[in-house]
Amino acid sequence: MSDSRILAQEELSRAALGRDAAVAIGVFDGVHQGHRYLIDRLVERARQEGLATMVVTFHPHPRLVVQP
């Protein structure tokens, strides 16, 4: 993806610039082959539907918050 950004929670509502968006939510702790495949499909489908794309990830890993 050419336009990658890391956004704080309060910025998420503005991230799609007023457009509907296709969103992937997960723990993207490094973009390995599986993540790359998922993101590529997200972008492909979003283009077909005329949607913005967004990936939401977590830091720290949710496991560290739920089971400290």
pLDDT of 5 > 90? The answer is no
User: What pLDDT, on the 0 to 100 scale, is given for residue 18?
Assistant: 73
User: What pLDDT, on the 0 to 100 scale, is given for residue 39?
Assistant: 92
Mean pLDDT of the chain: 79
Asked whether 68 and 37 are in contact (CB, 8 A), the reply is: no
**Residue 37: alpha-carbon gap to chain centroid:** 13
Asked whether 14 and 49 are in contact (CB, 8 A), the reply is: no
pLDDT of 29 > 60? The answer is yes
User: What pLDDT, on the 0 to 100 scale, is given for residue 47?
Assistant: 95
What is the value of pTM for the model shown?
Answer: 0.67
Asked whether 40 and 67 are in contact (CB, 8 A), the reply is: no
Tokens describing residue 64: 């560290």
pLDDT in tens, 32-58: 899 899 999 999 999 999 998 888 888
In the chain, where the domains are located: 9-66
| Identity of residue 24 | A
